[in-house]
């Protein structure tokens, strides 16, 4: 699903954000990425989404080699992903439903099934009462859940969540991670970055890697206590 070999990422200003990354992610994996601020977590997700291209090494995502593919191929890969951005990137002036629909309209869904799926996704994140609310009137947590609904509604092969626990207290952070894990399946891999290292230990059956100044360290499989 994702295979990185000796991948480097250097930003135009010379920052070496990622150094010699080797990583393999298979369908069904739930992967946690932790690490200090500035260690390269978001940069790694940007590589996976085709926002940045590796400056060195080979990166294969969902069957496409990122170094060789066209922007059309990147666009196609992106339709198979469910990104949940740190700042959510919801569109103001639109309802929660419209925000969920905006990622589906150009895919092969009929109008009717699209609406049904969007309602289901919003119900799944506990927002069936906010379907027609404007997103700018939603609380932070509600906005986050709209972003999740928009990401998962497309039945993506890869769900990418950047810092979903950032603003949450411990109890809600755990709930959030549980919600995200609930979307995992044999065909779907989930990648979550978080600062909340201590919480991950509560989760069974997940993979944990740690970033440190652009270097990746595999912590292996976390066993629940």
Partner 1 sequence: MKYFFKNIGYFLKEVGTILRLNPLSNLLSLVSTSLMFFILAMMIAGWWISNDVVEVIQGEAEINFYYHEDLQDEEIEELVNRVMTVDGVETALLINADEAYNRMVDILGKDAEVLKHFDDNPFNSFVEVKIDIHEIDAVISTLESIPEIENIRDNREILIRLREMGGLIKRIGLLVVVAVGVATLVAIAHIIRQGVYNNKEEINTLRLLGAPEGFIAMPFILEGLLLNLAGGLLAAVMTSFALMALYSQIQGPLPFIPMPPINGLIKGLVLMLILFSGTLGIAGSFLGLINSSKKGKIKVIKAMEQKK
Residue/partner pairs of 90-94 with CB below 8 Å, 24 or more apart: 90/135, 90/143, 90/146, 90/147, 90/150, 91/135, 92/134, 92/135, 92/136, 93/134, 93/136, 94/134, 94/135
Count of residues that interact with ligand ATP, criterion CB under 6 A: 12
Q: Considering all CA atoms of the chain, what is the largest pairwise distance in Å, rounded to the nearest integer?
A: 49
Whole-Å CA distances, 40 to 28, 44, 174, 196: 24, 6, 23, 16
Angle made by CA atoms 219, 196, 28, in degrees to the nearest 5: 55
Strands 2-10 vs 56-61: parallel, antiparallel or unpaired: antiparallel
- What's the closest the beta carbon of residue 64 comes to ligand ATP, in angstroms? 22
Member of 39, 42, 95, 157 binding Mg ion (CB under 5 A): 42
Task: Answer yes or no: are the C-beta atoms of 162 and 45 closer than 8 Å.
Answer: yes
Told to check if 41 binds ligand ATP by CB under 6 A, we report yes
Told to check if 197 binds ligand ATP by CB under 6 A, we report no
Six-digit token pair at 169? Answer: 């207290």
Determine the interface stretch with Mg ion among 37-45, 60-68, 164-172, 208-216 (rule: CB under 5 A).
37-45
Member of 52, 95, 164, 192 binding partner 1 (CB under 8 A): 52
Told to check if 39 binds ligand ATP by CB under 6 A, we report yes
Per partner kind, with CB cut-offs from 5 to 8 A, the member of partner 1, ligand ATP, Mg ion, none near residue 186 is none
Positive or negative torsion for Cα 184, 187, 192, 198: positive
Determine the interface stretch with ligand ATP among 30-38, 90-98, 108-116, 198-206 (rule: CB under 6 A).
30-38
Told to check if 39 binds Mg ion by CB under 5 A, we report no
Told to check if 54 binds ligand ATP by CB under 6 A, we report no
Binding site residues, ligand ATP, CB under 6 A: 11, 13, 15, 17, 35, 37-43
Binding site residues, partner 1, CB under 8 A: 10, 12, 49, 51-56, 67, 71, 74-81, 83, 85, 89, 91, 93, 102-103, 105-106, 110-111, 150
């Amino acid at each position: 699903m994702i295979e990185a070999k000796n991948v480097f990422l250097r930003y135009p200003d010379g920052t070496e954000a990622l150094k010699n990354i080797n990583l393999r992610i298979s369908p069904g994996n739930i992967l946690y990425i932790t690490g200090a601020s500035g260690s390269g977590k978001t940069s790694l997700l940007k590589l996976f989404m085709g926002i940045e291209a590796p400056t060195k090494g080979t990166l294969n995502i969902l069957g496409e080699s990122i170094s060789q593919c066209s922007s059309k191929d990147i666009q196609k890969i992106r339709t198979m992903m469910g990104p949940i951005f740190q700042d959510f990137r919801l569109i103001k002036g639109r309802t929660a439903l419209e925000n969920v629909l905006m990622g589906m309209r150009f895919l092969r869904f009929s109008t009717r099934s699209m609406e049904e799926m969007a309602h289901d996704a919003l119900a799944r994140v506990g927002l069936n009462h906010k379907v027609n609310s404007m997103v700018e009137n939603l609380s932070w947590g509600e906005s986050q859940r709209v972003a999740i609904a928009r990401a998962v509604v497309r039945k993506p092969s890869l769900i990418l969540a950047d810092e979903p626990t950032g603003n949450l207290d411990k109890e809600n952070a755990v709930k959030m991670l549980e919600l995200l894990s609930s979307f995992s399946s044999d065909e779907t891999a989930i990648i979550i970055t978080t600062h909340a290292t201590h919480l991950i230990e509560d989760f069974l059956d997940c993979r944990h890697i740690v970033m440190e100044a652009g270097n990746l360290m595999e912590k292996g499989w976390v066993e629940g206590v």
